[in-house]
Amino acid sequence: MQSGQLRRRDFITLLGGAAAFWPLAAHAQQPAKTIGFLGASTRSAEAQWIAAFLQRLHELGWIEGRTIAIEYRWAEGSEERFAQIATELVGLKVDIIVTWGSEAVVAAKQATSVTPIVFAASGDPIGTGLVVSLARPGGNVTGLSNQETDIAAKRLELLREVVPGLRRLAIMFNVDAPVSVLDMREVQAAADTLGLDVALSEIRQTKDIASAFDRLKGRADALYVCTEPLVFTNRVRINILAAAARLPTMHGRREYIEAGGLISYGTNFPDLFRRAGDYVDKILRGASPGDLPVEQPTKFDLVISLITAQALGLDVPPQLLARADEVIE
């Protein structure tokens, strides 16, 4: 009887010890670091980019749900949402904020001068005041430039190869997005050099897109779309309206061509987001963002849709198709 009581007592003691240990064990399994992800567009639009980012973090020893937690928020191209989300993430006391697009990065920078910020892509980080210099960014912000304005003239050259009779060019841009305005100016300067007539098409919100196309009727042979989050979020809508207006389109991302655009040339965003994982790794291990140089893109993609070309009655030169990284047909 006594031995049975002892056994019960030992069991209760063991059980009590285990109960005391369980919260510690559960706590030990909680992620040690938290990333705040400010998605400038939508979850579906950025899915491939995030997959590349998470894959790189995994390779570096950071596993979502185990060693890191990620707070995802989606702005859907709304400038007002950028500021709201940035403030929310700072309030959550995340260890680092990851985002893309100059407007989203500016909103994050305005929300905190302490929390490290990594931009996976920014069109002109110096021109938009995000960093002091590429070599030594200073402050709490660093990341990757996608050189949006530097390749505007190259895009125009490619568009002329597909539309050899191009005389009148429309440029659609978000007048409230600094990098979009910079891109517009670069394209306009290149168009002026080539003797093209330019029709500027300003938008500020989603509701402006349809009326912008109405104003372009009969005024353009092709459309150059300046890339930024609002336009990216509405890429399907833009390409549907462009097809209805029979306007060939030039874009800066392959995703626009998947959404019905004609041709795109620009940095490979999955690669940029993958490389952003290296920045996050270094900062979470103690590096200062201000000491990490802003890096340049190394992968550029030329993507052409033969489906859209055929619908518009355009013949894409074989030599251009041979240079393309991807042809959609």
* CATH code for position 280: 3.40.50.2300
Are residue 133 and residue 232 in the same domain, yes or no? no
pLDDT tens readout for residues 111-166: 999 999 999 998 788 888 889 999 999 999 999 998 766 788 899 999 999 998 99
In a domain, 44, yes or no: yes
Q: What is the mean pLDDT of each successive set of 10 residues along the chain, which is 329 residues long?
A: 48 45 48 94 93 98 95 92 96 97 93 97 85 92 83 92 95 92 93 96 96 94 95 96 97 94 95 98 97 94 97 96 95
Are residue 286 and residue 210 in the same domain, yes or no? no
Are residue 190 and residue 259 in the same domain, yes or no? yes
Are residue 97 and residue 218 in the same domain, yes or no? no
- In Å, how far are 120, 233, 272, 303 from 297, measured between CA atoms? 10, 22, 7, 17
> 238: how many CB neighbours lie within 10 A of its CB?
26
Question: Total domain count for the chain?
Answer: 2
Are residue 49 and residue 183 in the same domain, yes or no? no
pLDDT number for residue 148: 65
| Domain, as residue range, for 153 | 149-267+301-328
CA 75 to CA 300: how far, in whole Å? 26
Task: Answer yes or no: are the C-beta atoms of 173 and 201 closer than 8 Å.
Answer: yes
In a domain, 1, yes or no: no
Are residue 156 and residue 261 in the same domain, yes or no? yes
Are residue 261 and residue 289 in the same domain, yes or no? no
Are residue 250 and residue 138 in the same domain, yes or no? no
- The two beta strands, 222-225 and 326-328, are unpaired
